[in-house]
Amino acid sequence: MPKHNADIAIIFEEIADLLEIQGANPFRIRAYRNAARVVGELSQEVSQLLEKGDDLTRLPGIGNDLASKIKEIVVSGYCGLLERLHAELPPAITELLKIPGLGPKRVKALYHDLDVQTVEQLYRAARDGRIRAVPGFGEKTENNILQAIEAHTHQSQRFKLAVAAQYAEALQKFLLAIPGAAQVTLAGSYRRMRETVGDLDILIVASTSSPVVQRFTTYDEVVEILSAGATRASVMLKCGLQVDLRVVKEESYGAALHYFTGSRAHNIAIRRIAQKKGLKINEYGVFRNNIRIAGKSEASVYAAVGLPYIPPELRENRGEIVIAKTGQLPRLVEQTDLRGDLHAHTKATDGHNTLREMALAGLSHGFEYLAITEHSRRLVFTHGLDPLRLMQQCDEIDQLNAELKGITLLKSIEVDILEDGNLDLPDSALARLDLVVGAVHSNFNLSRARQTERILRAMQHRYFTLLAHPTGRLLQRRAPYDVDMLRIIREARKRGCFLELNAHPERLDLLDTHCQMAKEEGVLVSINSDAHSIYDFSNLRFGIGQARRGWLEKQDVLNSRSLKQLRLLINRTMS
């Protein structure tokens, strides 16, 4: 039975895809896509909202019909509309949508023109040169489809971190309620806060009489038991996520946690250090001459080889061991270090809440300040602001700031960086703002040189403050555009402006390696939610994880500053 927001979002996305292949009303299609996004990004499970009796129509974009379908899915695990659509179309046609570059419109054309219904049929049509004859395709597109099919065939399924979190945290809660389960820890790449997760590793300290393995294998989201023994089991969840469980003794817990957290390269490097000291490290402990000398805690494992504790997010064998030997490991940023958020939207453009609602939500998250950064006029589909509407919003913010206590709204804009590097709004509009957030939303396929020069020129603008989602990627949907990030970072240092780490689960952009690069070059990074509703501030935890993977400390983060300190930095940039 689907219980998680991600399950419901997948169903609504599939409905939208099938409706689009059928050629249904665009507004109806958009309603399901919007609902999928709203539910998928919601920090609280809708099943919990239903249990409390909350009215789902209070969620943005969710009317009575969609609310009833959500309830139908949660209660029955079934969506009648989806089943009817499946009956009306070939059963395997949605598999075509998993091929990069094939959206519903192209799938519709291939289905109607070539009767392509499966990935295998698609491959044969591309190989035989039949796709290029379909209007809107051509030889280049046909070759791209061939390459995408081959890459897709060899690609293992991975889940975005925020999606994996829904399944992982629900399962952790379930396991903790089992009698005799004293400790339940999520390990592996999930604990290292990788952007995507291939599977879940769970460690449990439990009494010998605990029925933890049996309860785990009968968890209601398990679709297949891959293996099961006295102290370990592997299962496949209905969503396609594999979960491996290990029951360990308390005296081995730290060693097992270290072993199953990884990364593999980090663990190998630690074992080599141990070997030079005449020690052996495995998942059961640290041994000298078959006598366990450490392993109850992870700190004891590291101490046994002469190292301080290394945080999980750093364990990628990218220099953390060398730095640890010098005693100079960074004190990584924590979410409690954030004093505000410099990227948020309201109903004025494509957000779902009012200025006041966003301000109060920010206050409830402990923010001292919140920048309102609507889209600019070029993004017509978001109802982007022109200069007149921007000035009107500035007046509204000034009025609201006079009433609010405890939080200050900052006047800003997420202004489009045009292809030539100019900004989408004139200086006369930007001059009134507290900060200007620049973003690339188009022309992603420019050459490396042209894309880099485009952004550099924008950053040289007198009012430019912050570069939003600097590589433009969307996880598993759009690759980063080709840009010389070192030149971008050095220009930011030269100009005194800043880079964003966008915490939206679809982005997590800056990359962790670019965070490290910014730190080394002395460029501050702002960890922002890109919130489009009052619920989205919860996504900051994923941005914090990415920042920690990038070695960022509190002093490396722009929005760890107080409002007074922030204004000094921003005013220096815009002067």
Are residue 438 and residue 535 in the same domain, yes or no? yes
Q: What angle is formed at CA 329 by the lines to CA 327 and CA 330, rounded to 5 degrees?
A: 140
Are residue 401 and residue 483 in the same domain, yes or no? yes
| Count of other CB atoms within 10 angstroms of residue 336 | 10
Query: Does the residue 562 lie in any domain?
Result: yes
pLDDT digits (tens, 9 = 90+) for 309-348: 999 999 999 999 999 999 999 999 999 999 999 999 999 9
Query: Does the residue 257 lie in any domain?
Result: no
Query: Does the residue 295 lie in any domain?
Result: yes
Task: Please state the domain count of the chain.
Answer: 4
430 pLDDT more than 80: yes
* CA 61 from centre of chain: 22
220 contacts 77 by C-beta, under 8 angstroms:
no
DSSP at 537: G
Q: Report CA-CA distances (Å) from 342 to 82, 452, 511.
A: 39, 24, 18
Assign residue 462 the CATH number of its domain.
3.20.20.140
575 pLDDT more than 70: no
Beta strand pairing call for 369-372 and 414-416: unpaired
Query: Does the residue 136 lie in any domain?
Result: yes
Among left, alpha and beta (phi > 0; psi -120 to 50; other), residue 115 is left
State how far the Cα of 351 lies from the Cα of 353, in Å rounded to an integer: 6
The domain containing residue 282 runs over which residues? 264-328
pLDDT digits (tens, 9 = 90+) for 208-251: 889 999 999 999 999 999 999 999 999 999 999 999 999 999 99
Q: What is the pLDDT of residue 1?
A: 45
Give just the sign of the alpha carbon dihedral 278, 280, 285, 287: negative
Are residue 309 and residue 295 in the same domain, yes or no? yes
Are residue 121 and residue 230 in the same domain, yes or no? no
Phi, psi of 346 (to 5 degrees): -125, -175
325 contacts 309 by C-beta, under 8 angstroms:
no
Are residue 167 and residue 142 in the same domain, yes or no? no
pTM above 0.75, yes or no: yes
228 contacts 194 by C-beta, under 8 angstroms:
no
58 pLDDT more than 90: no
The domain boundary residue, chosen from 105, 122, 153: 153
pLDDT digits (tens, 9 = 90+) for 453-463: 999 999 999 99
346 contacts 360 by C-beta, under 8 angstroms:
no
Beta bridge partners of 525: 499, 557
Phi, psi of 327 (to 5 degrees): 75, 20
pLDDT digits (tens, 9 = 90+) for 490-518: 999 999 999 999 999 999 999 999 999 99
Q: Is the peptide bond before 210 cis (omega within 30 degrees of 0)?
A: no
Are residue 300 and residue 438 in the same domain, yes or no? no
Average pLDDT, the chain: 92
* Crossing angle for the helix pair 264-276 and 253-261, to the nearest 10 degrees: 130
Are residue 17 and residue 142 in the same domain, yes or no? yes
151 pLDDT more than 80: no
